[in-house]
Structure 1
Amino acid sequence: MKVIETGFDGLYELEPKVFGDQRGYFFESYRRELYQELGIQEDFVQDNESFSVKGTLRGLHYQQTPHAQAKLVRVVKGKVLDIALDIRKDSPTFGKHHTVLLEAERHNMFLVPAGFAHGFVALEDSVFFYKCSNYYNKESEGGILWNDPALNIDWGIENPIVSEKDQVLPTFASYKEKPAF
C-alpha cells in the first residue's frame, strides 16, 4: 500500500498493490492490520455505496460529535473529484481543502478523518463506496455550502446536479460562528 501525504493531518490518498494478469485483477482494499501498521487506527463499522450520474455533486457533509465519522472512500466504477474540507477549528489547515481524483481504473482511495466536511462530483456515471468509523445519525448531520465563494473550491464542472438539501447548506462563515470540531 502506498500512502500519499496531503499536507493535512490524518488525510491521505492510498494506492493499493494491484495484482493483475490476463484474467483481471485482485487487490486488498482494506486489511485492518496493514492500516494499523501504516498508523491508521480507524475502526470502520459501516459500509455505504451510492450511484451518481455524471454531473452529480454530493456534499459538503459531516457528522458532528459524538457521531463524527472518518471515511475511507473509493470509486468502484467511474471517476469522481473528491473534496475534503478541514473544519477542525484548531487545525493549521482549518478552512482549507484538498482535492483527489478517484478513478476506478487506478483503485486509489482517500482516507478522510473526522473533522472534515466531505463531498464529491461524478465526472462520469460512478459507483462510490465508503467505509465509516461511526454509524450514521440523522440528528448529527452537518454540512457546508458546496459553492461558498469563500472556500474557492474548483469542482471542475459547470452546472452540477445538486440536491435541494445541499443547495441550502450554511456557508463556511456561518460554520465558523459555531464550529462542530
Structure 2
Amino acid sequence: MRKARLLTTAALAVASAGLLAPPATATVLAAGGGLEIHPATVTPGSTVTAHTTACGADGTASGDASAVGAGTFTLAPGGEKENATGEFKVPPSAQPGTYEIVARCSGSGADGKRVAGDLVVSITSTAAAREQQQVTPKGHVKTGVGGALGPDPVQTAAGVAALAVAAAGGTWLLHRRARGDRI
C-alpha cells in the first residue's frame, strides 16, 4: 500500500511539473517543421513575423492569428530555401496573455498540414522593462516637515547659533536659580 501511494505521488509530481512549466520556445514542432514566431514576446500594436519550413520548397500557407485578434495572413516562400514567411500586426486592443498562432500549408505535397506557434503579448516590452529599472531620486523632498530655513548654509548656521545662545542663556538662568541668586 505504501509503495503504491509513493508511486502515485511521484507520478503526480512529474505530471504537475510538466503542466506548470512554461513553453521553452515559441516554436511548436510538427513533423517536418513548426511555426516560428519572431519576436516571441510583443506589446500590443507590434508587427510579428511567422516562418515555417513545414510546407516544402515552394509551399505557401494560410496563417490564422485571430486568437490575438489579428485575423488571417499569408505565408509565402521567403528568401531561405524551403521557408514560407508572413507578417501580421497585433492589434492595439490585444490583452496580455499567450496566444496560439496557426498556419495550414497549401501546395507542394504538404497540403493541409497544420503547424502552430505561441505568441506572448505583454504590457511592457523587454526593452522597456530594462529601461524602467531602479531610478534613484535626486533633489530635495518637500514633505512640509523641518527645513524651515531651507538648504542655504548661511541661514542654517545662523539658526544653529541662535539655538546655541538660547541654550547657554537658559543654562545660566537655571544655574543662578539653583544657587538662590535673585535676578
Q: Please classify the TM superposition score into its range, dividing by the shorter chain length.
A: under 0.3
Higher helix share: 2
Bigger CA radius of gyration: 2
Higher strand share: 1
Between 1 and 2, higher relative CO (CA 8 Å, sep ≥ 6) is seen in 1
